[in-house]
Structure 1
Amino acid sequence: MLMIKTLFLTATLGLSLTIGSVYAQTPASVSRNPEALFTSPDPALNANKQVVYRILRELLDAGHWDKADELLSAEYLQHNPNAQSGRAAVVDYFTKVLKVKPQPLPERLNMKIIAVVAEGDLVTVLYPRAVRDPKAAGGSYTTTWYDTWRIKDGKAVEHWDPALLGEAPDLR
C-alpha cells in the first residue's frame, strides 16, 4: 500500500509540474536596435518597412496625424473590430476620440519591438504586451501583440491586429 501511495504522489507531483509549465511563459526578447529591423537588402521590402516605420514613429509615437495622408491611403481598410476603415476615420479616432496631441518626433522609436517581418506587400511588427492577469489580483503577464499592414504605392492600404471587440487600445 505504501508503494501505491508513493507512486500516486510521484505521479501527481510530476503531473502538476507538467501542467504548471504549460501556463509558464518567457517573455519575448526585444530588439536593442529596433530601427535596424525596418531595413532590408531587398529595395521593395525596405521601402515597405520604411512606410511602417514612419507610421509607428510619426503617427503612433509622435501623434503627427497631419502626416497621415503621406502614409495611409484614403481607402485604408481597418480589420480591427473597434475602428472604422478610411484614413479620415482613423485620423478622427486618434485626434478627436483619443485626443492625441503632436509631440516632438522621437530620435528613436519609443515602443519596444520584438521583430519586423516583410513578405511581398505585407509588413508585420511584433511587440511585447503586458496584460492584466485575471487569476492574480494586481498581476500581469507578457504576451505578444502584432500589427500587419499591406503597403501599396508607398502607403498603407490595409491593417490587421488581434484586437477584440470593446478592447481599449494599447498605444504602447
Structure 2
Amino acid sequence: MSGFTIVNGIAEISDPAIYANWLDNEEFKAAVAADPSPERTAIKRLLIEFEADLSRMVRDNAVQERVVEVMTKYIAEDYIQRDPNTPGNGRDNLIEHFRRVPIDGSTPPPVVGVILDGDVACLMMRELAPDPVVPGATYEWNILTVFRVQDGKLAEHWSTFRKVVPGQNPMGD
C-alpha cells in the first residue's frame, strides 16, 4: 500500500497527497472497505463510494448538476435525517439541502474507516486541521457520522455536528 497502512481496520495516512486524491484512489478505497465477509465489504464500499461521490460534487463545484443523480443512487426515498443542520426527512429534502450548501471546491476529508454493527455503520473521516494550540502545526481531526443501510441504500443518518446558523459550515471553518 502506497502512502497509507491499515491498522485495526483504520487507514493511517503517511502521504499527505492522499487527503486530496482519496476519492479517486481505488487502492485506498478498497483497503478501507476490505472485510473477510463479501457482504460487509459491499456495505462498506457503498458508504465509501457515497462519500466519494459527494466529495467529487464539492471538489468539482457540480452539486447542482449531480445532486439528484448521486442521491437517487445511494439514498432511500423515505430516508430519515437526524442531523440538526439538515431538517426534514426524505430523499427530496436531502437533495434540496445539498443544493443550498455553500461549497468552496476543496476536497472533503477521506473516509479512513467503516465500523459495521448489523445494518448500522459508523464512518470515520480524517482531516488535517490547523492546530489551535501549536502555531503552524496541524493535527488529525476525526469526524464521525452514522448511517443505517437497508436494501442497499442509506436509509437513516445521525450526525455528530452541533446545530449552526444556516450557511455556516458545521465542520467549523
TM range (shorter): 0.5 to 0.7
2:157 matched to which residue of 1? 159
Q: Deviations over 1:88-130 (max 9, x none)?
A: 11111112x1266xx9xxxxx9632332222211222212242
Q: Counterpart in 2 of 1:127?
A: 125
In the alignment, the residues of structure 2 paired with residue 91 and residue 99 of structure 1 have an alpha-carbon distance, to the nearest angstrom, of 14
Q: Percent identity?
A: 22
Give the SS at the match of 1:114.
strand
CA contact (8 A) 1:34 1:112 kept: no
The alignment of Structure 1 onto Structure 2 pairs a total of residues equal to 137
> What letter is aligned with 1:151?
V
8 Å Cα contact 1:131-1:142 kept in structure 2: no
In the alignment, does 2:33 pair up with 1:29? Answer: no
Match of 1:39 among 7, 10, 34: 34
Task: Give the gaps of 5 or more residues in structure 1.
Answer: 1-27, 104-108
Alignment partner, residue 81 of structure 1: 84
**What RMSD in Å do the two structures reach over aligned CA positions?**
3.4
Question: 141-150 or 29-38: which moved more?
Answer: 29-38
Change (3 A) 1:113 1:139: same
Q: Cα 1:30–1:78, aligned 2, differ >3 Å: closer, same or farther?
A: farther
- Match of 1:148? 146
Q: Distance in 2 between matches of 1:29 and 1:115?
A: 10
SS in 1 for 2:40: helix
Determine which structure has the larger strand proportion and give its number.
2
CA deviation string 1:47-91 (max 9, x = no partner): 211221221122343343222122101121111111122211111
Task: Give the structure 2 partner of residue 52 of structure 1.
Answer: 47
Question: Which of 72, 75, 94 is the matching residue for 1:72?
Answer: 75
**In 2: Cα distance, 1:29 partner to 1:65 partner:** 30
Change (3 A) 1:131 1:165: farther
Change (3 A) 1:140 1:53: closer
Q: CA deviation at 1:152?
A: 0.3
Give the whole-Å Cα distance in 2 for the aligned partners of 1:145 and 1:78: 18
Q: Which has the higher contact order (CA 8 A, sep 6+)?
A: 1
TM-score (norm 1): 0.63
Counterpart mapping for 1:99-110 below 5 A: none
CA distance in 1 between counterparts of 2:124 and 2:93 reads 24
Higher-Rg structure is 1
